[in-house]
Amino acid sequence: MSKKTAYLLGILLTIILGTILYYFLCCSICCGKENCKNKTVETKQVDAPKIKDATRNAFAITDADGNFSIKQNDNFNFKTSNFSILNPVADQVEKGVLELKEYLLSNPLKTVDVVGFYKSDEKNNSAYPNLGLARANEVKNYLVLHGVPSKQIDTRGKLNDAINPDVNNTLFGPVAFGMLTIDASDTSSIDALKTACDAIRANPLVLHFQTGQASINLTPSQRQKIADISHCVDKLGVKIQVVGHTDNTGNADKNIILGKQRADFAKDYLIKNGILEANIEALSKGQAIPIADNATQAGRAENRRTEITIN
């Protein structure tokens, strides 16, 4: 083989080897480009979110110290971030409520404990400290309207992130029930309640808002006061008084009307939040009872108020 032939053969082998290396090495780098013939499309599989089964709690009440026990598969249902009972209430639940009424009327030292559950991701749009207590209060109202004495019902709220709604955001039975027997000789609970109710009389809930305002935004302490007022009504049989006040601007007779409008607005707010209308009285004092100096703008703003207390 001549020297020239060997030289050409070497060049040819170099070209072939370079082509092979280019194919295996360089193409893997340029595969992201549109002109790569061997381009492969990588797909990333996204796991679908797991849908949790809806929780379904039964309507169940048992007296461990007596002979009362009921359990129905249905219960009181609610939409998420809502405290209104969904209608219709199942016939089995209504039947159980009537059985509960008869048992409590026959056993005045028994009380039913209603615990309303709420989730941490729910929005509390009620006047109560938490949505669970608002739901428990709605169930209490249902029991009272079916003849269960309010004095024999206790309500409270409890965080429970283990409950899951269905695909339509319905919570099935986010409430639980218990039954206790009161010790007639122990008056500490009722004495403490009376003290709390006296504190409300001495320091009513005061709201400041404009007549045309569409909603009332409460602070946490004001929400707790609403809960305390409701408890006083249930246990002591007192009534809620909503009193509208004005500053001294304008005609005194017209201010009576204006004060009543403010009182009615607050009363409607309480009714929407589960306080029975029969337990609320709305009235107006107009400009007659100022708590600040009407000669100043700040004083007049203080006098334009609505006070919520108990009698």
Q: Check whether residue 194 and residue 131 sit in a common domain.
A: no
Per the domain annotation, does 220 fall within a domain? yes
Per the domain annotation, does 53 fall within a domain? no
Q: Check whether residue 196 and residue 175 sit in a common domain.
A: no
Res 217: pLDDT: 85
Q: Check whether residue 182 and residue 77 sit in a common domain.
A: yes
User: What is the rounded CA–CA span in Å between residue 134 and residue 118?
Assistant: 10
| Number of domains into which the chain is organized | 2
Q: Which residue segment(s) compose the domain that 150 sits in?
A: 59-186
Q: Check whether residue 159 and residue 67 sit in a common domain.
A: yes
Q: Check whether residue 182 and residue 193 sit in a common domain.
A: no
Chosen domain end from 155, 186, 217: 186
Chosen domain end from 186, 201, 234: 186
Res 184: pLDDT: 87
Res 137: pLDDT: 96
Per the domain annotation, does 235 fall within a domain? yes
In the numeric block, which tokens belong to residue 83?
């405290």
Res 189: pLDDT: 87
Are 162 and 247 in contact by the 8 Å Cβ rule? The answer is no
Q: What's 138's domain CATH number? A: 3.30.1330
Are 156 and 136 in contact by the 8 Å Cβ rule? The answer is yes
Per the domain annotation, does 194 fall within a domain? yes
Q: Check whether residue 182 and residue 162 sit in a common domain.
A: yes
Q: What's 205's domain CATH number? A: 3.30.1330.60
- Total Cβ atoms within 10 A of residue 309: 21
Per the domain annotation, does 2 fall within a domain? no
User: What is the rounded CA–CA span in Å between residue 128 and residue 231?
Assistant: 12
What kind and span of H or E run contains 13? helix 3-21
Chosen domain end from 128, 156, 186: 186
Residue type, 22: Y
Q: Could you list the mean pLDDT of each consecutive 10-residue stretch along the chain, which spans 311 residues?
A: 62 66 56 51 60 91 94 96 97 97 97 98 96 97 96 97 96 97 90 93 90 76 95 94 95 94 94 92 96 95 95 90
